[in-house]
Structure 1
Amino acid sequence: MGMRKIIDAIIAGDLAALGSLPVPTTYRGVTVHADEVDMFTDLPTADKDPRRSLHVDEVPTPELAAGEALVAVMASAINYNTVWTSIFEPMDTFGFLRRYGRTSPLAKRHDQPYHVVGSDLAGVVLRTGPGVNAWKPGDQVVAHCLNVELEHPDGHNDTMLDPEQRIWGFETNFGGLAELALVKSNQLMPKPAHLTWEEAASPGLVNSTAYRQLVSTNGADMKQGDTVLIWGASGGLGSYATQFALNGGATPVCVVSSERKAEICRRMGAELIIDRNAEDYRFWSDEHTQDPQEWKRLGARIRELTGGDDPDIVFEHPGRETFGASVFVARRGGTIVTCASTSGFTHQYDNRYLWMNLKRIVGSHFANYREAWEANRLIARGRIHPTLSSVYPLEQTGQAAYDVHRNAHQGKVGVLCLAPEEGLGVTDHQMRERYLPQINRFRGV
């Protein structure tokens, strides 16, 4: 009954009333269970099924502490870290929760036999803890996923370097695939007014990650005129990298795996596209041996498309499968910027092509608050657009994660939490009408 009143107030636009409505003592969240971490033992990664491991449970509402906010989650989204959590690879996330729980009595709240997952949200602030002044009940927000303590000097130039930096909903509990979520107040950002709840929820993690990885001085520091090779250019990360490259005066070379995905890149404005399946690139001749001739073939194809230029930047996230090729094709003095490693974490490359050609490998992980804020501001201004392709109800989160695990998706897959249907939450209809074709270009593909 309490959750129903919250939903009704939000849909009616009576946001001022939220501060006086009681907070439910329990809520529904998508969880994995500590007693099931061995359920996929001995199965190949491809056969591990998130639909078996992800549950929708009624869980206790966590205690609200200083500097925190409790958010009514209208919508969330699937990221690859939710897939990793659901298949317990490369390890189960309960080790993260136990380690976090040992850091303080309040952090102990996170050490539970269940893990409420999810690293994106769009919703409305319900309550704030002591010391929170920038946000109040009724504020419409999105959240980025950096959870940081900032009690160590290493975090004060770049919060991503803090030794107590964690990814919310992956390395912490009470994540965004739920009706309520617990966040630190410095995770909150204004919801873009022209987007629906599900659209606004979808960019957070991947948009911020791509911004730091490609645009920020902490990443590749892209400049106008750069040639940028983007692996998986129509996917969750790559679709934002493609937009950043086009917006920033760079030339993206988009690597995709089908003509359908190539068409999505063309819709975003990209012209130079490599369909790796159609052109049959096989960077590994067997499980243990890479084929440098395929690296050379890829490099020649890139030069053919660019008029002779090698990539100034290679936007890397597949990892093991492509990393040898990425190091090879980057221009002399170029940068390979890497995160995620969705095809495997153990990278192999020929170091001669790195050291003798003065190339750099830069590791990049999510984003600090400033970078996340700037990435969200670009969304709010209509310079970067959501890449939402499909939306599931909370009860079908397992299927949504399964789609991402099997790469049977485009862009981002959204999940409705408290929102009863798609299309709600827009407050700037004039701006939405202006950008509707760009907002919808991943839908129905």
Structure 2
Amino acid sequence: MTSAMHDLLNVALSPDATPEDIANTPLPESMRAAVVRADEVDMFDGVDSADKDPRKSLHVDEVDLPPLGPNEVLIAPMASALNFNTVWTSIFEPMSTFGFLKRFAREGELGARHDLPYHIVGSDAAGVVLRTGPGVTRWQPGDRVTVHCNYVDMEGPEGHDDSMIDDRQRIWGFETNFGSMAEVSMVKANQLMPMPTHLTWEEAGSLGLTLATSYRMLVSQNAGGMKQGDTVLIWGATGGLGGFAVQLVRNGGGIPICVVSSPDKVELLNDLGVDTVIDRKAEGYQFWDGDTQRPDEWKRFGKKIREFTGGRDVDMVFEHPGRATFGASVFVTRKGGKIITCASTSGYMHEYDNRYLWMNLKSIVSSHFANYKEAWEANRLVDLGMIHPILTRTYNLDEAAEGAWAMHTNAHTGKLGVLVNARQEGEGVQDTAKREAIIDDLNAWKTLQ
């Protein structure tokens, strides 16, 4: 960190500083950021996906500060978090993200700013506002914020019904440049939300992408529309998406049927008061035999689920593994139920037996991140102390590639944080009394490791 950045942070985080004080403190001339480089997109050609190593492609470089335009804000991310989109960016799969940036550039002058020979990654952040561009009225320098990753201008008519439908909607730090793993980042003003006052920087910085994704999938009428008493099958219930899904289902009066991959993970959920847990490895489920699916294994899986539900099939499936599990997910859903899918971490080409879908009036519902309202409501639940971060490990910015490797190899549970401008873990709490009142629950959800 340069002395100029150090001085700027001291002012921006001072409780006595006015917005004018912060705005008048000079920005640094350059900054450190975690990037992939355009001249390295072919480095993994011929390498199997599992062997592509983010530690070779994700670098911390000194780069220029982001530009600032209308309705945009410069923030100093104090902490960020890793998501699978950073892994995909760093192994250049299923395509290089530089294609996204070039497409953005074709839309006009503002988009052209993103087309650079490097791509700053990161789609989660908690930080402090440094500068506001023309047209920004809700936020000012010094505000402490969390950031959601729905990057959209709202110029298309479709976006005013649901901003995720806007034809120019993008995911910040994945389909745009200037992501969160940088000493200074650029966001749109409509990406900002108040930072929950009882959280540390790294806890607050681990929320946005996975929590809001889970909220839309389960709670929003745009996807799941879960109601009290619904049974929800949750794949990967100790992961980033799944850990929030478990909390949201329980908080909303539903019954989570959790699928995990080890007895240790079963025990972790049991300790959190969740008894409806299936250890898929202990049960030995084999949904595929080579390239052929096994309906007998779907049936055995469904029988196990009904042991927890009193003989009922599940109302909803929280689907994100994709190819490996999708056939089973369609089979075990009740008549008229929903399979909500947001990802395909085990493969994009899904296969299922359509007879079990159409004859039983089931629905496959696609869900992608969240709109501003959904992200805001999910953030509000955290601020109310009803949903908790599931941060299990935090890396320094220089170690971000190690964290990406851990995520790529599935050597993690929960969320992996990244300290950017924060000096150490534990900083940033604004309301210590509020934190102490829920500290046991807060700490309990950090045990998913």
TM-score range, shorter chain: over 0.9
Structure 1 counterpart of 2:87, one-letter code:
V
Counterpart CA distance in 2 for 1:14 and 1:102 is 44
Tell me by how many angstroms 1:10 deviates: 4.6
Q: Secondary structure at the match of 2:281?
A: coil
Counterpart CA distance in 2 for 1:74 and 1:15 is 18
Counterpart CA distance in 2 for 1:248 and 1:392 is 32
Tell me by how many angstroms 1:8 deviates: 2.5
1:60-71 to 2 correspondence within 5 Å? 60-71=64-75
1:163-195 CA distance string (max 9 Å, x none): 000000000000001111100000000000000
Match of 1:264 in 2: 268
Tell me by how many angstroms 1:15 deviates: 4.5
Counterpart CA distance in 2 for 1:239 and 1:2 is 39
Counterpart CA distance in 1 for 2:352 and 2:198 is 44
Count of aligned positions: 444
Counterpart CA distance in 2 for 1:22 and 1:239 is 41
Structure 1 counterpart of 2:338, one-letter code:
T
Tell me by how many angstroms 1:47 deviates: 0.6
TM-score, normalization: structure 2? 0.97
Tell me which stretches of 4 or more aligned residues in structure 1 moved more than 4 Å: none
Q: Does 1:422 align with 2:425?
A: yes
Structure 2 counterpart of 1:235, one-letter code:
G
8 A contact 1:229–1:254 mirrored in 2: yes
Match of 2:162 in 1: 158
Tell me by how many angstroms 1:269 deviates: 2.8
Counterpart CA distance in 2 for 1:441 and 1:5 is 37
Counterpart CA distance in 2 for 1:317 and 1:4 is 41
Q: Does 1:174 align with 2:175?
A: no
Match of 1:6 in 2: 8
Match of 2:367 in 1: 364
8 A contact 2:13–2:128 mirrored in 1: no
Q: Secondary structure at the match of 1:245?
A: helix
Q: Does 1:296 align with 2:302?
A: no
Counterpart CA distance in 1 for 2:406 and 2:445 is 15
Q: Secondary structure at the match of 2:444?
A: coil
Counterpart CA distance in 2 for 1:61 and 1:298 is 52
1:175-233 CA distance string (max 9 Å, x none): 00111110000000000000000000001100000000110000110000100000001
Tell me by how many angstroms 1:266 deviates: 2.5
Tell me by how many angstroms 1:265 deviates: 2.2
Counterpart CA distance in 2 for 1:440 and 1:38 is 42
Tell me by how many angstroms 1:264 deviates: 2.9
8 A contact 1:410–1:442 mirrored in 2: no
Counterpart CA distance in 2 for 1:195 and 1:305 is 35
**CA distance 1:62–1:241, change in 2 (3 Å):** same
2:248 to 244, 250, 253: 244
Counterpart CA distance in 1 for 2:17 and 2:328 is 52
2:395 to 371, 392, 400: 392
Match of 2:44 in 1: 40
Tell me by how many angstroms 1:14 deviates: 4.3
1:103 to 94, 101, 107: 107
Tell me by how many angstroms 1:373 deviates: 0.2
Counterpart CA distance in 1 for 2:424 and 2:286 is 43
Counterpart CA distance in 1 for 2:262 and 2:194 is 36
TM-score, normalization: structure 1? 0.98
1:10-33 CA distance string (max 9 Å, x none): 554444332221111211110001
1:254-299 CA distance string (max 9 Å, x none): 000112222332344322000101111111111x111111100000
Match of 1:345 in 2: 348
Match of 1:379 in 2: 382
Counterpart CA distance in 1 for 2:31 and 2:152 is 25
Match of 2:207 in 1: 203
Match of 2:55 in 1: 51
- Identical-residue share of aligned pairs (%): 59
Structure 2 counterpart of 1:18, one-letter code:
I
Structure 2 counterpart of 1:239, one-letter code:
G
User: Which ranges in structure 2 are unaligned for 5 or more consecutive residues?
Assistant: none
2:92 to 64, 88, 92: 88
1:311 to 311, 314, 324: 314
8 A contact 1:174–1:182 mirrored in 2: yes
1:130-157 CA distance string (max 9 Å, x none): 0000000000001000011211111110
Q: Secondary structure at the match of 2:335?
A: coil
